[in-house]
């Protein structure tokens, strides 16, 4: 297949395993698995998965995502919680701060632009 046209599947990348930084962790022991399918010129695209837990987030980048599995709750600082379920799509802009809570193991397709 051409490098100008590529499917977004877990088989197209080596999984990277991580966890939230200890100072950001609020509850649980979430494990992140990320399959970065595309990384070039400040653009990142792929698949992200997390097991249950809750942590603080702060975005320095722009992100578009669609949940493909699970249930999460994204709560902006000073705002109301937003329940995210399968099929939900959102844009998070640089400057967003709040908490991300994975209620059921969550998988999302994402595109991040620095």
Q: CA 84 to CA 54: how far, in whole Å?
A: 14
Q: CA 68 to CA 51: how far, in whole Å?
A: 14
Within 10 Å of residue 110's Cβ, how many Cβ atoms?
Answer: 18
Q: Where are the domains of the chain?
A: 14-113
Q: What tens digit of pLDDT does each residue of 68-86 get?
A: 999 999 999 999 999 999 9
Residue 4 has pLDDT above 90, yes or no: no
Q: What tens digit of pLDDT does each residue of 10-45 get?
A: 988 999 999 999 999 999 999 999 999 999 999 999
Q: In this structure, what DSSP letter does residue 114 have?
A: -
Domain 14-113: give its CATH architecture: Sandwich (2.60)
pLDDT for 12 equals: 82
Residue 96 tokens, joined: 């967003």
Residue 8 has pLDDT above 90, yes or no: no
Residue 47 tokens, joined: 């698949």
Residue 1 has pLDDT above 60, yes or no: no
């Amino acid at each position: 297949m051409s490098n100008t046209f590529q499917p977004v599947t877990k088989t197209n990348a080596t999984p990277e395993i991580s966890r939230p930084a200890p100072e950001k962790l609020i509850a649980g022991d979430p494990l992140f698995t990320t399959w970065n399918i595309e990384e070039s010129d400040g653009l990142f695209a792929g698949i992200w998965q997390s097991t249950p837990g809750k942590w603080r987030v702060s975005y320095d980048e722009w992100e578009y995502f669609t949940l493909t599995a699970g249930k999460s709750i994204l709560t902006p600082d000073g705002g109301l919680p937003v329940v995210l379920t399968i099929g939900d799509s959102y844009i998070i802009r640089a400057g967003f701060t709040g908490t991300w809570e994975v209620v059921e193991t969550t998988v999302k397709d994402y595109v991040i632009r620095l």
